[in-house]
Structure 1
């Protein structure tokens, strides 16, 4: 994924701002030792930071369909990662470096995204444009001076290019069989016994042996007769749920 972005940027710069010139495009770390070995006009695109673009994260699952329009699997939506490049120009004169940076900046400002035709491999198969931004203020937790200090070099004019790349690698969850016109049948196991009936309480009696009236009933109204026991229930339940059309 990262190497595809590298090749797309190299091809873009060689086709437009650096067309016809003898300027090399590299992706090396611009350390002090590396700078001492540069002996030809060079544009360096140093990838110094990779982090997820949380503003583009989506929740839920995406459906995958077959040729009949049936859902066959589900997968997570793509996650975007920001690739931050530090673009610098290296020549013998500062004026030439400024001229190169100006040409690169004008080229990048003409595009808000890289089209799928500029990529090969995975990013080309996705068929989506890859958004990018250039020369924006750095985040609060990072400054370009810190980057140069970590590299051990001197502060140099540069362009900050950020490209948000989608990554589609995620687990695939197989979908269950589709529900047909006959509906979906649900049921319990045949071996489930019916619930047991609660035990009957004996009638309450006074010390003399007389049967006490039922609580809440009238003394002149006889107690209701005992109900006959119900037939045992079938050992299982079958239900059929028809799909709503």
Structure 2
């Protein structure tokens, strides 16, 4: 999915206010050595942080239905991850870099929630909208100053782009075949005739001195009846 988000951001930055501009889009770490090799206007879209958005985690299983609406598979809900990008503009003059960053803002702000039909490949197949935050409040564990220090360069104007995307949680589980016929329940009437097997079982049961639920004590045939006993 990460490479698809790269493709998504590249497509967005090449359109909108930047349509037709001859600006290179790169995904390299913006180190001093990389910057020294640039001889044309460029955007660098550097992925510096990947972490799960645990507030979006869901439990249970989601149903997958075919064209008839029959459940054919069950799968775990996707896990959502925050992909944080550092977007910088590189030209010979700071003023030109500021113009490029302004154009990037104007291009990205209308896309704060991307519908499935705006997404590439397998990301679109999930059928979920994807939020895109532009230069929001810094919530990652590392500050931008620390990132620039790790890259070996000084601070530079940049946009902080966070794309929160779903990742499928495997495996899927096959669903059982649908029930197509109603179950048939057969019941004997309470006062109906007994089957031969039931009659024999009841005879053995009473002869052994057992009683039917709700009846008094069973009497062995031929035994005298005590006074007061139920007849």
Give the TM-score band, short-chain normalised.
Answer: 0.7 to 0.9
Q: 5 Å matches for 1:72-83?
A: 72-83=72-83
Instruction: Work out the CA distance in 1 between the residues paired with 2:90 and 2:184.
Output: 71
**1:67, CA displacement in angstroms?**
4.1
Instruction: Work out the CA distance in 2 between the residues paired with 1:113 and 1:146.
Output: 29
Instruction: Work out the CA distance in 2 between the residues paired with 1:178 and 1:21.
Output: 56
CA RMSD of aligned residues (A): 2.2
Cross-structure match for 1:64:
64
Contact 2:75 2:173 in 1 (8 A): yes
Out of 94-103 and 133-142, give the one that drifted further. Answer: 133-142
**1:19, CA displacement in angstroms?**
1.7
TM-score for the superposition, normalised by structure 2: 0.74
Aligned: 1:125 with 2:125: yes
1:105-161 deviation per Cα after TM superposition (whole angstroms, max 9, x unaligned): 122222212233333310122333211101112126220011111111111111000
Please state whether the residue corresponding to 1:160 is helix, strand or coil: strand
Contact 2:48 2:85 in 1 (8 A): yes
Q: 5 Å matches for 1:150-229?
A: 150-179=150-179, 180-182=181-183, 228-229=208-209
Residues 69 and 15 of structure 1, relative CA distance in 2, 3 Å threshold: closer
Gapped runs of 5+ residues in structure 1? 185-226, 232-245
Cross-structure match for 2:139:
139
TM-score for the superposition, normalised by structure 1: 0.70
Instruction: Work out the CA distance in 2 between the residues paired with 1:19 and 1:71.
Output: 45
Residues 20 and 69 of structure 1, relative CA distance in 2, 3 Å threshold: closer
**1:17, CA displacement in angstroms?**
2.5
Higher helix share: 2
Cross-structure match for 1:115:
115
Instruction: Work out the CA distance in 1 between the residues paired with 2:20 and 2:140.
Output: 39
Instruction: Work out the CA distance in 2 between the residues paired with 1:111 and 1:27.
Output: 20
Out of 114-123 and 28-37, give the one that drifted further. Answer: 114-123
Instruction: Work out the CA distance in 2 between the residues paired with 1:33 and 1:17.
Output: 29
Contact 2:50 2:84 in 1 (8 A): yes
Q: 5 Å matches for 1:97-112?
A: 97-112=97-112
Gapped runs of 5+ residues in structure 2? 186-206, 212-231
Count of residue correspondences = 189
Cross-structure match for 1:243:
none
Instruction: Work out the CA distance in 2 between the residues paired with 1:174 and 1:91.
Output: 55
1:173-193 deviation per Cα after TM superposition (whole angstroms, max 9, x unaligned): 223344541169xxxxxxxxx
Please state whether the residue corresponding to 2:55 is helix, strand or coil: helix
Residues 55 and 157 of structure 1, relative CA distance in 2, 3 Å threshold: same
Residues 124 and 69 of structure 1, relative CA distance in 2, 3 Å threshold: closer
Out of 95-104 and 107-116, give the one that drifted further. Answer: 107-116
